[in-house]
Amino acid sequence: EGHRAGLSAMTKAESKDTMDMFLTRSLQRMLKECSKKQVRLRESCASTLDLVSKVGVAHRKFKAEHSSEEVHKIMNRVINTLKLACESKQNRIVSTALDCLQKLMAYGYVNGSIPDLANTERKLVDKIVEIISNAFDLKTSDDNVQLRIIGAFLTAVTSSQCEVHDLSLMSAVRGVFNIYLVSRSRVNQTTAKATLSQMLNAVFLRLEQAAVREQHMQEVQEEAEEVQSRIDADTEQEMDVAEAGDLEDPASGEAESAEKEGVADGEAKAETAEEEEGEEEEKESEESAPEAEEGEKDSEAEAEADAPAAEEKAEEQESEEQTESKSEEEEAAAVAENVAAVVAEANGLAGGDAAAAAAAAATTTTSLNVAFYDCFIIFRALCKLSTKELPASASADSVDMRRKLLSLELLQTIVENAGPSLCANETFLKQAIKKYLFMSLLTNGVSPYMRVFRVSLAIFHALVVKFKAHLKNEIGLFFSKILLRVLESTNSTLQQKHAVLVLLLKICREAQTLVDIFLNYDCSIDSVDIVEAMVNDLASIAKGHHGAHEHHEPATQQEYAIKHLALECLVTIMRSLVHWSRELAGGEEEGEGGLPSDGTPGPPEGARRHKKQDTFIEAKQRKQQLEYGKRLFNYKPKKGVAYLMEHGHIGDSTQAVAQFLLHTEGLDKTMIGEYLGLIGNTFCKAVLYDYVDTQNFSGMEIDLALREFLGGFRLPGESQKIDVIMEKFAERYFFDNKQAGSEACLFLNADAVYVFSFHMIMLATDLHSKHITKKVTRPEWIKNNTGLNDGQDFPERFLLEVYERIAASEIKTRDMEETPASAAGGQGQGEAEFLNARQRQQLFYKESRSMVQKSKETILDQIQQKTTFFKSTNIEHVKPMFEMCWCPMLAAFSVILETTERDDKDLISLCLEGFKAAIHVSSIFYLETERNAFVGSLSKFTLLSNTREMKQKNIEAIKCLIEIANEDGNFLQDSWTQILQCISQLAKIHLLGSAGPRHISHSEANVSAAAGGGRGAHASGATAGARRHSQGVANGSGGGGGGGGGGG
């Protein structure tokens, strides 16, 4: 140990000598490079060189380190000299000074405890970061200086001794970020980007480490409190026993006296029995006196001989008892020491100092807060940088584009590498991710620049993987407003659709995530149907209906790639459903399958499964009722309201119906206006009055209030209905603003509001109608409103402000504002077909602005709202998922198989795999309609029942059908009829092909010729397999095939 201590001391001394030597050479080099004009720098270098040469970092004469004050003075002196060197703007001097700063921080000579003597309110390391930041000059700094700056910043941030936080940390990150943006060297750009990733990983790793330390401290403190409580309980028990011994209770005294009396009675009885036994022994002793004398002599001799042995045994027993008592005492002492050690560790004490425990806990909490604040300010800054809009002329290599891309890529790195403490931090979720990151994602999620768009989708996927349990509302909003909108819009480009499909494919491959999305959104009445809408869009794209324009020849290959990707997404969804249903299928095969153990046919579908109804499945059924009621309302409003009332979705009162019409999404605005315009119906007219009275227009300008009112529905076409509706609006507006005490209201009565509202509607029609060439001018507008305010005129300024607002924006309903409008770019539908990809991107971006703004407002309103994200653990959730998506999937698979003329193996294999997975799921859940639909469609593609020419895809369909019969035969039930018919036709064709031409009739020859393509090796192999399976079916081992064999 002494040798090791000596070696470590020598190593430490050598390192200090090495640092002194390095500083000396660096200062000499800088002194040599200084010009004669730099007098101050030369003097500082000379004095510092003299100090380092004489004193150094440690006293070599006495072999002891400097005191803390001396170290602080020396380091401040050195740093001031290096600051002057960095301010010289000479690249060689600056490079040498930066190298010195980096070495001082790397080897621990500069740490977080050294203050800045020039400014005692900050630390010396903060001053160093400022020096490094000021050393960067875009005009004079060369590549070598930039690399030195990057290395110095990396050392300052990642060093465990420097402790760079808050503004200094932001300055370091900003410095490296700026070097990446403005440097012309690819090497420096790559180095800066990698350095930023390392710095951010180090900062966020500190947060995880601080959280682990705090958790450990809490666990130790809890354990110590538990041990202390046990010790206190034992102490109280001992004190109670001691007090009970000193102060006897009267009841206990009586009990003790009773015990003594019982003991005395027992002793008296025992003495009487002993006297009786003694008399009998005396009689016996008199009879055997001679023998006793001889025996006494012998016993005395034996006793004398055994006396030493007995004494030895007694001594051994005494020593054993003493040893046992000592071991028990040592055990108790050891336990006491362990308990004391646990308590000491929990309290952070070395000698029982309570202040040290409080200081340790406070230090841990402070370090966690500092680490969290560092992470937060960096994350917020990156989100703000990524949200800045790009100019229209931004190129791929422009500074603005690179700034946005780099900030997004760094955010992606942070989210993908987020640790458990960051994922569970509610403050970070609310104030960082929801408030800033999702604002960036919504902005960049409709960006016309594909690199920005792809990185935004990658960040969203990382959020789904890491944070989906805490971002239920935000994820649902991004799905419905961004992803699905891109797939459905005709103005989104093929590249955008392809990027979204790649993201959806990743999500579909995660079975748990897919089922959780269905459970939390499709089974919730308050959320949109994400999985259902996604499947419908994917099926539409797979069939070739995705808004692309076929006349563009260069887009043909892209369209095929998108079609293939959409089909792969659908098949992947079916794979995920099979994965989730595998557990149920295994249970069915072990004893709950299609046939009982005795071989008799099983009950019909669903008859053997009487499970508790799942609350999510009930919610999905309720949601389906609500959606059906909405569709019925959009077709027949009165029938829709009656249906929803009948099923309990709307109350029977007029107020409930008014609230439903006002706040429910998905209702046709025209049908709402038609329902409110049924003034001949007493109930509907009362609903109209409640609909208007529910809204509040106090403090609003008249044109803004009219926009708000007409934004919820379209006015009906009849003037009488419009008159009643506007009259009620005027009455409500006047009540909210004049009679409620608003002094800013310019209207003298409700009639003035009524007439002026009609004038505003006519002005909006005049200014924004394409069919009206001569528009109303401002003087005409003022003249038309003369004397309307109960015989008085409105202020001219008020009329002009209303005119300008209406001219700037048309009065529309909310669905018109959210509908993608080609008019955003000024093109009609026919003209929009000839736009290039760049123009389409810009048009999609423009039409999405209002939607993005409303989505941002929604997220900000829901920041404090707590949501519960459910994780599915019930395999029965697969059933409603399949019932929801089987129709569009069957249509997509069938259309692709039917329309694929060329032998496209990829598309054909994907479609057949989709058929196979769908039949498997529908079979194990005993969904007869769905199973028969898929089996029937697949059997038609075999072309065994018609005279069309067979192709390779038809032969593959035959093979797929036979594989389905082999694997899922126990669940097919009535679908065996169609399978056995195909097998019979295949066997017949095989017999016709194997027989000679002399034995073939005319009709058989036609069948054989029509199926000529199926008489090859594939058909023969398939027939052999079919024969083997049909033999098994005939023997009763093929599941439900026994009943279908006769029909076959």
Q: Please pick, among 222, 256, 329, 718, the residue that the annotation labels catalytic.
A: 718
Residue with tokens 């020491």: 337
For residue 174, the one-letter residue type is R
Cβ atoms < 10 Å from Cβ of 744: 8
Helix (H) or strand (E) holding 121: strand 119-123
For residue 388, the one-letter residue type is K
CA distance 546 to 524: 28
Burial class (CB in 10 A: 0-12, 13-18, 19+), 769: exposed
- Cα distances from 880 to residues 204, 456, 892, 916, in angstroms, run 42, 32, 20, 19
Given the DSSP bridges, would you call strands 58-59 and 119-123 parallel, antiparallel or unpaired?
unpaired
Rg (CA), the chain: 45
- Cα distances from 811 to residues 570, 722, 994, in angstroms, run 41, 16, 77
CA distance 948 to 945: 9
CA distance 411 to 928: 49
CA distance 975 to 928: 8
Q: What tokens appear for 426 in the block? A: 């509610």
Cβ pair 966, 1039 in contact under 8 A = no
CA distance 372 to 367: 9
* 58 beta partners: 65
Is 236 labeled as catalytic in the residue annotation? no
* Residue 620 Cα to chain centre, angstroms: 23
CA distance 150 to 147: 5
Residue 391: phi, psi to the nearest 5? -65, 160
Pick the closest to residue 414 from 198, 153, 180 (CA basis): 198
Q: What tokens appear for 704 in the block? A: 């803004």
Helix (H) or strand (E) holding 50: helix 39-54
Q: What tokens appear for 389 in the block? A: 């809009």
Residue with tokens 């001594």: 315
DSSP result, 884-924: HHHHHHHHHHHHHHHH--S--HHHHHHHHHHHHHHHHHHHH
604: left (phi over 0), alpha (psi -120 to 50) or beta: beta
Burial state string for 951-985 with b = 16 or more CB within 10 A and e = fewer than 16: bebbbbbbbbbbebbeebbbbbbbbbbbbbbbbeb
CA distance 456 to 445: 6
Helix (H) or strand (E) holding 119: strand 119-123
Residue 122: phi, psi to the nearest 5? -130, 170
CA distance 968 to 928: 14
Q: What tokens appear for 272 in the block? A: 């009487």
Q: Which long-range contacts (CB under 8 A, 24 or more apart) does 323-331 make?
A: none
Cβ atoms < 10 Å from Cβ of 329: 10
CA distance 725 to 684: 12
Q: What tokens appear for 471 in the block? A: 């971002």
- Cα distances from 305 to residues 296, 300, 301, 316, 720, in angstroms, run 14, 9, 6, 19, 137
**What amino acid positions are annotated as catalytic residues?**
718
